[in-house]
Amino acid sequence: AQSVTQLGSHVSVSEGALVLLRCNYSSSVPPYLFWYVQYPNQGLQLLLKYTTGATLVKGINGFEAEFKKSETSFHLTKPSAHMSDAAEYFCAVSDRGRTGGFKTIFGAGTRLFVKA
């Protein structure tokens, strides 16, 4: 069965500092991996995704994530945080379930705070 673990429910960084949000997953088959972002009072939106091919994936707003199969990780990074990055970030894994189709499971989320 799939599962997603996000290390740290809250992360606080200074503006301009590196952002690192951690995600580990488990899946019985090759997974598809996603990061979603939820800004205050808004719905979840896709930040980036890994399906196949290049393991370093670039997303919107300068974020990127690297798929490391040996570590079952898909950590999200951004070189320089901006105040507008303050939001809740969710890691998600999707793979084909026994009943067919793809089922997406989410982690508990990490809230990012950016200090001026």
Partner 1 sequence: GAGVSQSPRYKVAKRGQDVALRCDPISGHVSLFWYQQALGQGPEFLTYFQNEAQLDKSGLPSDRFFAERPEGSVSTLKIQRTQQEDSAVYLCASSLSGDNSPLHFGNGTRLTVT
Residues that bind partner 1 (CB under 8 A): 6, 9, 32, 34, 36, 42-46, 49, 51, 90, 94, 97, 99-109
46 contacts 30 by C-beta, under 8 angstroms? no
CB of 96 to partner 1, least distance (A): 8
CB of 45 or CB of 80, closer to partner 1: 45
Residue type, position 102, single letter: F
CB of 17 to partner 1, least distance (A): 24
Q: What is the helix (H) or strand (E) element at residue 64, kind and residue range?
A: strand 64-68
How far is residue 20's CA from residue 49's CA, in Å, rounded to a whole number? 17
CB of 30 to partner 1, least distance (A): 10
